[in-house]
Structure 1
C-alpha cells in the first residue's frame, strides 16, 4: 500500500467515524483507535510528529546505515520541517498494524535488554 493511499484512507476513516459517532441530538461521541509510531514515512511535510530521541537515531543507523545520516535529536519546537527532507528520521501515528504495510514504514521497538531496535516487519 502506498503512503498516499494510507493517508487518504486514514482521513476518510476519520470523517466516516465522526459521522457515525454523532448522536441524534447532535452531540459527538469520542472515537478512539489504537495507533503506533511509524517511522520512515516522513515525506509529508507538516505531518511528521514530534520528538526523535538519540536512541531512536542510533537504532536506525545500525539498521539502515547512512540512509538517515542527517538525523538529529529534536522536540516539537525544534522540528521546523527538517524531517520532511531526505536523510532525516521522522514518524507519524498510524493505525496499529498498518505501519509494515506502508512502503518504507518501520517500527522502533525494544529488545529483551530494553535497547531500542528497528522492526522492519
Structure 2
C-alpha cells in the first residue's frame, strides 16, 4: 500500500517536472520567436530607409539633370537668337552694299 502511494507520488512529481520543463521550453521558444520577429522588423526598416535614401538621391540627380538641360536649352536659344540677329545684320549690310548710290568722282 505504501509502496503504491510512493510510486504515485513519484509519478506525479515526474509529471510536474515534465510540465515545468515543457512550459520553460515553450517560453524560451516564444521568446526566440519574438526576438526573431524583432530582428526581421529592424532589418526591414533598415532596408526601407536605405531604399528611401536611394530614391531621394535619384530624385536629386534627376532634378540636377533637368536643371542642366534647361540651362543648355536656354543657351541654345540664346545662340540661335544671336545667329538670327547676325544673319539679319549681314543681309542688311549686303542690301546696303548692293543698293548704294555709286559715287562718281569728279576729276
Q: Same fold (TM over 0.5)?
A: no
TM class by shorter chain equals under 0.3
TM-score by length of 2: 0.22
Larger Rg: 2
TM-score by length of 1: 0.19
The answer to which structure, 1 or 2, has the higher relative contact order (CA under 8 A, 6+ apart) is 1
Q: Which has the higher helix share?
A: 2
